[in-house]
Structure 1
Amino acid sequence: MLELTQLQHDMAWPLSILLAWFIGEFANRWLKLPRISAYAVVGFLLAPSQLGLLPSSQSPTMLLMANIAFGLILFESGYRINLRWLRSNPWLTAASLTEAVLTFVCVYFLVLAFGQTETAALLLAALSMATSPATILRVINEQKSSGQVTERVLHLSVLNCVLAVLTFKVILGLVIFKTSGNIWNASYNGLIVLLISAALGVTFGVLIPAVLRKANRLNQDGTLAFTIAIIFIVALTHSLKLSPVLATLTFGLVVRHRRIILNSSQRGFGALGDLLTVMLFVFIAATIEWQQVLAGISLGLAIIFVRQLSKTIGISIFSRVSGISWRKGALVGMASLPISTFVILVLEQTRYIGVDLVDQLAPLAAAAFTLEIIGPLFVQRALIWAQEVPEKKEA
């Protein structure tokens, strides 16, 4: 019996990843659903608080692996950001700032109206600003979409991610200072973390391309070098309790503007990227407990509605002046629904540094569970309705 229990413990994650991959392929092939929605369903069902196949406690190693998977996707998201486009069309940045601020204000007052504390309202509002680049990019790659809606939703998701991290870290620093009165801890977990994380991304963004150019191995070893660098950055930021989100995004952004070209075989980091993606979305869903979902269901659903309305309005009002139709602006807003991957990993990272906010922010569990499944569907339909998906994908 002891050996059987040990075998179950050892095989829990490999078996879960295998099941998620199998069901994801079936769902995509026969039901035309995004694979990551299926991964999320499997992860949630196998979670310790549901069927209980996965371990009851999330190990630091699994959190590190999830952050590495997220880091690979964030690097590619940052790499695809065109700063020249943002400079030539400042209305995109204006749309991002407007919808982020509108989302923050609306969610903040909504949470207060539900009788939550001001701290909870501020933290929920900050996290609600984000749109998860991980979900957006995986659906874009899966659908092989291209066009105005595709590029705008990807750019806006990265901008939102950065704004949410900045806002969340500042508020977290204020919460720590209010609780402990230690100004160093508050500063370190606020602006100092952001500055060091961004500097780390910039450093590697300059260093790695320079080494590859010097060795004349840019075309042959680009993917391997960037993968190793991302793993190192995530491990270092994880160990030093910095922000792997900001570091990897900055790394990708700097590499793009160092004129490094990733060919099609390098996008998504191949089989390693696909494997870690399955693990990532299973891990994210497995952290969500059914009790938390029930406890915060009413406020969680209200946050989803208010957040989506705020984002759609904030983006749509800049549609015409930024060069697209009202309809496409609304589709960009519709595709901005996903949030779960970003939120769960930020909260897990926050718990790792010693600040447990998961239980205090139960409404996020309900929102994360709902959006982990339907978010990719919204992105998929928005891209298809925008006619940016090859015809064979609509069949």
Structure 2
Amino acid sequence: MFSDVNFLLQSMAWPLVLLLAWFVGERLHEAASVPRVSSYVAVGLVASLFDLPGLTNAVPGLPFLANVALSLILFELGYRINLRWFRHNPWVLALGLVESVVTFMAVYLATGWFDLPTETRLIIAALSVSASPAGIVRVANELRSAGQVTERVMHLCAINCLVSVLVLNLVVGYWHLSTSGDLVMAAFGSIHVLGTSVAVGALLGVAGPWLLRSQRIQERDVTLVFALAVVLLTTMAYGLKLSPLLAALTFGIVARERRVHLTNAQRGFGTAGDLLTVFLFVYIAALLDWTDVWGGMLLGLALIIVRTASKVACSLAAARLSGITERKGLLTGLALTPMSAFAILLLEQSRLYGFDPARQVLAVMAGMMLVQELFGPLVTQRSLMAAHETHVTKEG
């Protein structure tokens, strides 16, 4: 009898928590304009605190589902990237690369104030380069934001994510080299993951538009085709031990270059995308251990200050060169504050693929992740509002 009750509680945990997260997100968004994703994170953190049965324990398939959710968002981010813009305004590309390097070096040096191993410092610095596509894209969609700051934030977020994946794979290769001593296998592993992930995403980005053009698919069905393609891409990446996040971002960029038209009504992949977003933010919040959160809060706050300062300083320095005012440069740097969802899933993938230090790094960064998860989307929202690029009123 007791086992039946326990099984029932485990089965009901996720649906109940997701329903509660959605309800809280809608109420707080309507009452106080709180970004929905911040509310989802808050509910996930509370659920983790109470250690609900079946929620915080390892459940087969949940990491895959979370990667599908984030891959859909990364595809959407990639689709919003205009490579021609980099040719017309190379300062944006230069800013993204320089800012990534500056952030990496600043965070790496800052972690030297704490008693951390070198490999842990390198991983934290690599993850800190990234911005959270999930937080930024969903907030921008909520606000129907469009303009100079919004587009720069999207492009810089994509650059940050690409550089973060690249550097993290190099660190993983360095770790394998230090543990096994096999330089060839370590180098091959890193190059294989990066190159093959990009190649698979690009191949699907070419094949997808060809399929759409060869068939008489109505506009409303394009969303379904691309959603299924992202699921296929994530499955392939898991099977081949690649990076589904890098592959999905590449898929979106190439699909954009192949001139596939997506309407505004399809942004966010509709109701299925909304459901997966609720799950994603509750899931990543439930992964955090509260003991690690309190123990790493001082480190987390220090790293947040250093990371934010480096991004804001670089955006301010390059503002006039890239064609915007210093005020918009400041808002662009602040809007890149979120980072948690992308970073946590990168660590989870690395752990699943045999990178042992990943679990330790997540524990060290728990305090930083909690603050970034809760307040990062709010900073992005206020930055886009201050830039006067939002198109949402209280009426609709």
Determine helix, strand or coil for the equivalent of 1:43.
helix
Tell which deviates more after alignment, 354-363 or 208-217. Answer: 354-363
CA contact (8 A) 2:144 2:392 kept: no
Per-residue CA distance 1:286-307 (angstroms, 9 max, x = gap): 1011111122111111000000
**Paired residue for 2:127?**
127
CA contact (8 A) 1:143 1:393 kept: no
Determine helix, strand or coil for the equivalent of 1:168.
helix
Per-residue CA distance 1:78-115 (angstroms, 9 max, x = gap): 00001111110011011111211111111111111212
Shift of 1:59: 2.8
Cα distance in 1 for partners of 2:233, 2:348 equals 18
Cα distance in 2 for partners of 1:226, 1:310 equals 36
**Paired residue for 2:160?**
160
Tell which deviates more after alignment, 183-192 or 378-387. Answer: 183-192
Quick check: 1:181 aligned with 2:190? no
Matching of residues 155-234 of structure 1 within 5 Å:
155-183=155-183, 185-217=185-217, 219-234=219-234
Shift of 1:391: 5.9
**Paired residue for 1:352?**
352
**Paired residue for 1:52?**
52
Determine helix, strand or coil for the equivalent of 2:365.
helix
Shift of 1:187: 3.1
Structure 2 length as normaliser, TM-score? 0.96
Cα distance in 1 for partners of 2:292, 2:5 equals 31
CA contact (8 A) 2:289 2:363 kept: no
**Paired residue for 2:94?**
94
Number of residue pairs aligned between Structure 1 and Structure 2:
394
Cα distance in 1 for partners of 2:93, 2:247 equals 21
Cα distance in 2 for partners of 1:223, 1:343 equals 27
Shift of 1:381: 0.3
**Paired residue for 1:261?**
261
Cα distance in 2 for partners of 1:347, 1:224 equals 29
Per-residue CA distance 1:243-296 (angstroms, 9 max, x = gap): 011100000000000011101222111000000000000001010111111221
Structure 1 stretches of 4+ moved >4 Å: none
Cα distance in 2 for partners of 1:16, 1:186 equals 41
**Paired residue for 1:374?**
375
Shift of 1:122: 0.9
The alpha-carbon distance between structure 1 residues 391 and 232, as it changes in their structure 2 partners (threshold 3 A), is closer
CA contact (8 A) 2:45 2:282 kept: yes
The alpha-carbon distance between structure 1 residues 361 and 66, as it changes in their structure 2 partners (threshold 3 A), is closer
Determine helix, strand or coil for the equivalent of 1:113.
coil
Cα distance in 2 for partners of 1:163, 1:374 equals 24
Shift of 1:181: 2.4
CA contact (8 A) 2:316 2:326 kept: yes
Cα distance in 2 for partners of 1:59, 1:200 equals 28
**Paired residue for 1:305?**
305
Shift of 1:41: 0.5
Quick check: 1:237 aligned with 2:237? yes
CA contact (8 A) 2:241 2:353 kept: yes
Identity %: 45
CA contact (8 A) 2:21 2:278 kept: yes
CA contact (8 A) 1:44 1:282 kept: yes
Structure 1 length as normaliser, TM-score? 0.96
The alpha-carbon distance between structure 1 residues 289 and 5, as it changes in their structure 2 partners (threshold 3 A), is same
Per-residue CA distance 1:52-93 (angstroms, 9 max, x = gap): 344343334000000000010000000000111111001101
Cα distance in 2 for partners of 1:65, 1:294 equals 28
**Paired residue for 2:389?**
388
RMSD: 1.6
Gaps of 5+ in 1: none
CA contact (8 A) 1:209 1:218 kept: no
Quick check: 1:2 aligned with 2:3? yes
Cα distance in 2 for partners of 1:394, 1:81 equals 30
**Paired residue for 2:339?**
339
**Paired residue for 1:278?**
278
Gaps of 5+ in 2: none
Q: Which amino acid aligns with 2:91?
A: W
CA contact (8 A) 1:149 1:328 kept: yes
Q: Which amino acid aligns with 2:172?
A: L
CA contact (8 A) 1:297 1:363 kept: no
**Paired residue for 1:62?**
62
Cα distance in 1 for partners of 2:302, 2:334 equals 16
